Structures are given as structure tokens and as C-alpha cells.
A = this chain, B = another copy of it.
């Protein structure tokens, strides 16, 4: 039955294929000139009805609109951009085009941007300084009306200067002093605080922290939150329960291994992100300690809920960040939009990994 369906469709496609041989320059899109000529008006008038608001007689306007339809006329965004010096395009540089973190950010940003009649252009900065610079240059030559940046490697000065030179910037996950109005970032300290506090409330008084590298400001802020929670519970901070390594599974594995090797006493682990958590779980599992260790990750990527036991995590409002970034960029590009928040609030998602164990087993 589906075979039948398929064939019907395919025959149609085939027919079209044969009927109309491929002429390279079938691409003869109608131009504003064609419309003007056929409608018996000047290019200027056509341009006016195109841009809506001008004063054009109803009769001319109708005539032009009709002609546009007949010709299937679509204005060339390119020519418009050249003439107006605005491309209705927003650029975005992420440090990983794939991956569970940037996907949702891009998605939600793209939505608000496209709904405003703008276009989002995304490019990969790979988290490396030269690649980031190159990516940005790529975009500014297009050009773009605003730029959403997620760059960790590029020096602050360059970012600020880019903005001064006329390319409005929205900076994600990074805060530059004196440039805060252009930044959107998570309250990382609060995230670290929430996670740690909850584990302490559950009675765990020896909470390890497997962080990402402390060269990354986020890690330090999360550490501050961790410390604050300890303080509140009157538990002394122990340097020997804190580790730092890469923000990925291998980093998690190494840190957890160290923790175990050193025979440190602990019953709970706070991880710098969910990938670290996954690596750590792996090691815990090998030692039969997965079920008996309380754990909280960070970011709450999609698969955290699929793990077994499901992973508790500090939720990073990625969609929200994308949305805000989109609005902000649009505002900078001269498009009216609502006011934006610069600091996003995390919240703790409690799942099985939090309840897995009693503190003093």
C-alpha cells in the first residue's frame, strides 16, 4: 500500500523533471524594475509600497501589489541590505554547534529572531581564540546587524572594541565589567549554593565538589556557592574535597578516581556539570558505590532524566537564555522589543540520585 503511494508521488516528480530541462539561469527572479514597468509606475513607488508606510495612492498601491503577485516578485534581501546598510540578520557564535547545551539556546534564539522577520546565522567558534576571531570576522563581513557571542577564549578588550566599532554585541555566559548591559549569564553562585545546601539538608556533611577548571569563572562562582552553603551549616570548608579538571566525562572520571584513591571520606558529590557527573558515576559504579552516593550535577541536560538512577541537577534555563539573547540582539538591531534580564536564575531539579543514600551508611 505504501509502495503504491510512493510510486504515485515519484511519477509526478519524474514528470516535472522531464517537462522542464534545467536551464542554469532559470533564476530570472523578477526585480523591482519589472514590477514598476508592468504596473506603469516608477521603481520608487514600488519601493514605497514594499516598505509599507509611505504615502502612496490607494489605486497605485493596489496595482503594484497585484503586479507583484503576478510576477511572484520577492525583494532581494541582498540589495536591500546594501542600500540600507542593515541586513536584518543576527549572527551567533557558539562554542559547539552540536551538544545538548547550545542546541536549545540556538533554537529559542532563532525562534524570536525569525518571528521578527530577521535571520539567524550561526557559526562555530570551537572555543578557541583564533577560531572565534575568525568566526566573528566571517560574520561582520556579511554583515550582521547584531552579534550573539558565546566566546570564552577571546580577550575582553576585543569584544568591547568590536561593539564600539559598530557591531552591537550580546555576550552570553560571560560578564565583563563595565559591559554588563550587553551580558546575559547565569547566577552560578546561586546554582552551587542550591545544590550544596540541599545535600547538606539531607544530612550529608561531607560533600565533595568535582568542578570544571577554575580558570573558568563559572567554576569559581559555583565554588563560592558551595562555600556559602557550607558556611550556613557551620561546616568547615575542606580543600581536600575539591578537585578541578576538564568539563567532560573524562574529567569526571579522573576526579572521582582521585577522590576514591585518596580514601577521602564523603557521602555526596556536587559536580561542575552533568558530563562530569556521568564520568564520576562510571567510576562509582565500578566500585559499587553508585547507589550509595548522593549526587547533583549542573546544567540539567536532556539525558540527565534518562540515567539510572536519574541524575539530580541544577537546571540551567537555556531556552530562556536564548530567548533573551534574541530579544536583546533585536533591540540593538533597531527592532523594538521588551526589556531583558541580564542575570538568569538556576533551580534545583531533584531526582533519584539525590535520594539514593542515607548519609551515614
| Chain A contacts to B: CB under 8 angstroms | 2, 6-7, 9-14, 16-17, 20, 22, 24-27, 74-79, 81-82, 85, 87, 96-100, 103-104, 106-107, 110-111, 114, 119-124, 137-138, 140-143, 155-157, 160-161, 163-167, 176-179, 214-215, 217, 220, 278, 285, 302-303, 306-308
In the bound complex, do residue B142 and residue A77 qualify as a contact, i.e. CB atoms below 8 Å apart?
Answer: yes
How far, in whole Å, are A104 and B96 apart by their CA atoms in the complex? 10
How far, in whole Å, are A285 and B198 apart by their CA atoms in the complex? 28
- Residues of chain B within 8 A of A24, CB atoms compared: 166
In the bound complex, do residue B110 and residue A123 qualify as a contact, i.e. CB atoms below 8 Å apart?
Answer: yes
Contact pick for A77, options B14, B85, B141, B220, CB 8 Å: B141
Contact pick for A106, options B74, B98, B166, B285, CB 8 Å: B98
How far, in whole Å, are A20 and B164 apart by their CA atoms in the complex? 8
A199 CB to nearest B CB, Å: 22
Residue of B nearest to A17 (CB): B178
5 closest A-B pairs by beta carbon, nearest first, are: A98-B103, A27-B166, A10-B177, A303-B303, A14-B178
If A24-B166, A220-B2 touch, whether A76 touches B16 (CB-CB below 8 Å) is: no
In the bound complex, do residue A13 and residue B143 qualify as a contact, i.e. CB atoms below 8 Å apart?
Answer: no
How far, in whole Å, are A157 and B110 apart by their CA atoms in the complex? 28
Contact pick for A16, options B20, B138, B157, CB 8 Å: B157
How far, in whole Å, are A76 and B9 apart by their CA atoms in the complex? 43
Contact pick for A141, options B75, B120, B178, CB 8 Å: B75
Contact pick for A119, options B9, B78, B121, CB 8 Å: B121
A11 CB to nearest B CB, Å: 8
How far, in whole Å, are A10 and B176 apart by their CA atoms in the complex? 6
- Residues of chain B within 8 A of A104, CB atoms compared: 98
If A78-B81, A176-B13 touch, whether A103 touches B114 (CB-CB below 8 Å) is: no
- Residues of chain B within 8 A of A163, CB atoms compared: 22
How far, in whole Å, are A201 and B84 apart by their CA atoms in the complex? 67
A64 CB to nearest B CB, Å: 19
Most B CB within 10 A of own CB, among A77, A85, A179? A77
Contact pick for A13, options B79, B110, B179, B220, CB 8 Å: B179
How far, in whole Å, are A121 and B164 apart by their CA atoms in the complex? 26
If A10-B156, A10-B176, A79-B82 touch, whether A165 touches B120 (CB-CB below 8 Å) is: no
- Residues of chain B within 8 A of A26, CB atoms compared: 164-166
Contact pick for A78, options B17, B120, B143, CB 8 Å: B143
Residue of B nearest to A28 (CB): B166
How far, in whole Å, are A81 and B308 apart by their CA atoms in the complex? 53
- Residues of chain B within 8 A of A178, CB atoms compared: 10, 13-14, 17
- For this complex, 15 residue pairs linking A to B, each with C-beta atoms less than 8 Å apart, are A2-B214, A7-B177, A9-B176, A13-B160, A14-B177, A17-B164, A26-B164, A26-B165, A27-B165, A76-B141, A78-B87, A100-B302, A114-B124, A114-B138, A119-B121
